[in-house]
């Protein structure tokens, strides 16, 4: 039975692809790629020659029907994005949902994604976390950041290099200066970098730099008992001062 394969690809280091992903790329009838040029370079590196078609944010509403019709007709199709796992802040969700609605089998392979290495590398709690992807660029941005300031779980955000400093400035505004944060840049690549500290410290580190590469921001959740702790400490001080 034909199906749609979701195939993660390396986020930087080309060695970070599974043997199974390579096998499926060789076996499928064609590959649907976010950018056929980027995927073409990977395929050349792997020594694989395969038909490719573009499926990206600007045409995905139009190509979904064509792709599903090809699978129904008997083709096995692999979906890849430029880097990482399709559907994670990349095209893929609409196609997967439509295939499921059409009764088409969908198989997602495990593989690279930037958010997990950044989370583990941050040193912040990883037992419970939320992934926000990219924050709204304009409408609703401040509202969303204000809401996240009350989140008790570790928060993961993707950001572009040219917006990083502005985002850190906004986080300070709503989260406070002392909230701990980790910023990872160029994960798995030659110039991979992770900076950890308070929001103020990380803002000061990046504010005058020429920043390049994709960014993952990991933010400490709001301390659950902070308000109660401060209240108890104040009560103890008041009690001590009156004895």
pLDDT in tens, 143-186: 999 999 999 999 999 999 999 999 999 999 999 999 999 999 99
In this model, does residue 234 exceed pLDDT 60? no
Encode pLDDT of 89-140 as tens digits. 999 999 999 999 999 999 999 999 999 999 999 999 999 999 999 999 889 9
Alpha-carbon gap, residue 198 to 220, rounded angstroms: 10
Q: Calculate mean pLDDT across residues 203-220.
A: 96
CATH 3.90.950.20 given to domain 115-224: no
Encode pLDDT of 76-91 as tens digits. 999 999 999 999 999 9
CATH 3.40.1010.10 given to domain 3-108: yes
Encode pLDDT of 218-232 as tens digits. 999 998 655 444 445
Neighbouring C-alpha atoms within 13 Å toward the C-beta of 225: 3
Convert 199-229 to b/e letters by CB count within 10 Å (16 or more is b): beebbeebeeeebeebbbbbbbbbeeeeeee
- Domains of the chain, by residue range, sit at 3-108, 115-224
Angle CA(232)–CA(235)–CA(237) in degrees, nearest 5?
Answer: 110
pTM for this entry: 0.88
Q: What percent of the chain has pLDDT over 90?
A: 87
Selected residue with higher pLDDT from 1 and 110: 110
Alpha-carbon gap, residue 18 to 30, rounded angstroms: 19
- Quote the pLDDT of residue 1: 84
């Amino acid at each position: 039975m034909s199906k749609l394969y979701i195939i993660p690809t390396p986020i930087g280091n080309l060695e970070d692809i599974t043997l199974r992903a390579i096998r499926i790329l060789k076996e499928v009838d064609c590959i649907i790629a976010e950018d056929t040029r980027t995927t073409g370079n990977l395929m050349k590196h792997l020594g694989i020659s395969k038909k490719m078609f573009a499926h990206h944010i600007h045409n995905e509403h139009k190509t979904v029907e064509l792709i599903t019709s090809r699978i129904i007709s008997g083709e096995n199709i692999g979906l890849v994005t430029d880097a990482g796992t399709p559907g994670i802040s990349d095209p893929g969700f609409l196609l997967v949902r439509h295939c499921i609605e059409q009764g088409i089998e969908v198989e997602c392979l495990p593989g690279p994604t930037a958010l997990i290495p950044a989370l583990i590398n941050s040193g912040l709690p990883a037992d419970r976390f939320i992934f926000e992807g990219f924050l709204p660029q304009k409408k609703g941005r401040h509202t969303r950041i204000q809401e996240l300031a009350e989140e008790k779980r570790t928060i993961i955000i993707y950001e572009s290099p040219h917006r990083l400093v502005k985002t850190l400035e906004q986080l300070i505004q709503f989260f406070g200066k002392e909230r701990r944060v980790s910023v990872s840049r160029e994960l798995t690549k030659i110039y991979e970098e992770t900076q950890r500290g308070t929001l103020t410290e990380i803002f000061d580190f990046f504010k005058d730099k020429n920043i390049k590469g994709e960014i993952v921001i990991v933010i400490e959740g709001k301390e659950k008992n902070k308000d109660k702790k401060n209240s108890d400490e104040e009560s103890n001080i008041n009690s001590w001062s009156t004895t």
